[in-house]
Amino acid sequence: MNHSWWKESVVYQIYPRSFMDSNGDGIGDIQGIIMKLDYLKELGIDTIWLSPVYESPNDDNGYDISHYMKIMHEFGTMDDWDELLQEVHIRDMKLIMDLVVNHTSDEHEWFVQAKTSRENPYRDYYIWRDPKDGKEPNNWASNFGGSAWEYNEETKDYYLHLFSKKQPDLNWENEKLREEVYRMMKWWLDKGIDGFRMDVINFISKVDSMPDGEIKPGKEYASGSKFYRNGPMIHDYLKEMNEKVISHYDVITVGEMPGVTPDQAKDYTGEKRNELNMVFQFEHMGLDNGPNGKWDVQELNLIELKQSLSRWQYTLADSGWNSLYFNNHDQPRSVSRFGNDEKYRVESAKMLATLLHMMKGTPYVYQGEEIGMTNVRFDSIDSYKDIETLQAYSDLKQQGWSEQKVMESLFKKSRDNARTPMHWNDEENAGFTAGKPWLTVNPNYKSINVEAERSNEHSIFNYYKRLIHLRKQNELIVYGDYQLILEDDPEIFSYVRNYQDKKLLVICNFYDKEPIFKLPKGINFMTKQLLLSNYTVEEQSNIAEFTLQPYEARVYLLN
């Protein structure tokens, strides 16, 4: 397997609106990010993924882009962005941008033109269909609720929007559209960025006939996902993108791909495939979904999580590469979701980090994860801003859910859990802004904040620093083979990494009980060294059999 800088990186995702506000308007901005670059360097980060900062009307917080080569005025100017890139590179870090090309904003000039007439030159930049029996062309649901089609009065037909009606889908079958996208990508790469995270990139190829999906009981619309995820031309488009753009630069590419399987990911990320470096998959993110989807929350089954993560490790072992994450701007806080955000917040946050960062792949840290930020419990739906959350609230109420039941689901799964402003200190608004924050700050910032974490030797922040440093010092952690052990243990997630003549033993107690760890036969070693733990452990303690404390994590180097 080839060695590459992006395999050895640790990536930090910044959600600009919530990171740091430099001018007191309550909205994070580019100058705010520049102010905090030394903090990221201190943490050990070498690559920053910047969520969208392009010009946008903000129907979906920047994922609805109205101009790909301009900066959203709330975030600053292109001069600010140029300064950010320069300051990132001065610190020997890299910057990757979000590439959102499944759709644009309906306020993008292409769509403004396209909707005026069926003869407009930009018409075929988007996907249009005539009405069927006076209604939508098919029964597909938008990922944000309601129909995936919106009627356009001027042309008497419908356009497709797999997300908000203000996010019309682009028509990748149009070669002119593809060339526009490639030109835009080159423009950013020539400015010096170090890669792209590609938003729902496996949605860009649709089955042309667009057949109806199967409507589930109680639903008005059907998922059409099997007709637009990993579609018929997806590999052709990605190979073309790689040939015309990506292959000419030494950059990182990661494709967000809902519904992708390990075998499909192998095709997307295999080193000889010339498509992408890695994908964001969601298999492990759906394990706490009930029969009725995301908002029907169920308890996570650890054995299912072990099977899922291990399946990805094994399938991409020799061809392809894994991205490692529990958090991002679309997911609730992992310490609240998979850990214990009260009594064992510190221990469980460290355990989850250990479990993930010691695996094979490139780890992603989402802002605030490194200090153990938690989900938020807003008193009212009026405090939420996320378009998906607001639509879900309306839909679930219409389905007969009680107010309490709906709110409990939002507390657990709303995307706004990840989007509350970053906690920098215990001053007003957590030091995020001198003004009124765009989204209410989580009230627990008084005790959970960067300033407090930095000064505490045993903090989550300082644990992340050690985790990241360990990865940079040990090729074993980056390139070693993965082997799951104790496959059927319902409480312990443990695995071994093998590289040359060394082994890494990772032991994680996933719950607040005290199970007994027994080292399986066949894991032989002469010496052991405790590299990391989230409790005080005697170096000489016997690892053949011992009792784990709640959410305990240990990492041993075996020779």
Q: What is the set of active-site residues?
A: 199, 256
Tokens 């030494």 -> residue? 250
Burial (CB count <10 Å: 0-12, 13-18, 19+), residue 552: buried
What does the DSSP assignment read for 268-294? Answer: HH-TTT-S-SEEE--TGGGTTEETTEE
Q: Which two tokens stand for residue 459?
A: 């903090």
Backbone angles phi, psi at 464, to 5 degrees: -60, -40
| Separation CA 33–CA 49 (nearest Å) | 12
Say how many residues make up the chain.
559
User: Which of 279, 256, 252, 269 has its CA nearest to residue 319?
Assistant: 269
**435 touches 26 (CB < 8 A):** yes
Q: Find tokens 């917080």 and name the residue.
A: 61
Hey, is 221 helix, strand or coil? coil
The SS3 call for residue 37 is helix
* Residues in contact with 236: Cβ distance below 8 Å, sequence separation at least 6, in sequence order: none
For the chain, helix (H) and strand (E) counts, in that order, are: 16, 22
Between the CA of residue 392 and those of 11, 386, 397, 420, what are the distances in Å?
Answer: 31, 10, 8, 19
Is residue 302 within 8 A of residue 474, CB to CB? The reply is no
Q: C-alpha 404: how far from its chain's center?
A: 28
Alpha carbon distance 496, 369 (integer Å): 25
Which DSSP letter does residue 427 get?
Answer: S
Cα–Cα distances (Å) from 235 to 415, 461, 488, in that order, read: 30, 40, 37
Nearest CA to 168 among 63, 254, 55?
Answer: 63
Residue 29: φ, ψ to 5°: -150, 175
3-state secondary structure 86-153: HHHHHCCCEEEEEECCCECCCCCHHHHHHCCCCCCCCHHHECEECCECCECCCCEECCCCCECEEEEC
Tell me the pairing of strands 252-256 and 278-280.
Answer: parallel
DSSP for 526-541, please give it.
S-EEEEEESS---TT-
What DSSP assignment string belongs to 152-215?
ETTTTEEEE-SS-TTSPBB-TT-HHHHHHHHHHHHHHHHHT--EEEETTGGGS---TT----PP
CA–CA separation, 496 and 163 (whole Å): 41
DSSP letters along 17-34, please? GGT--SSSSSS--HHHHH
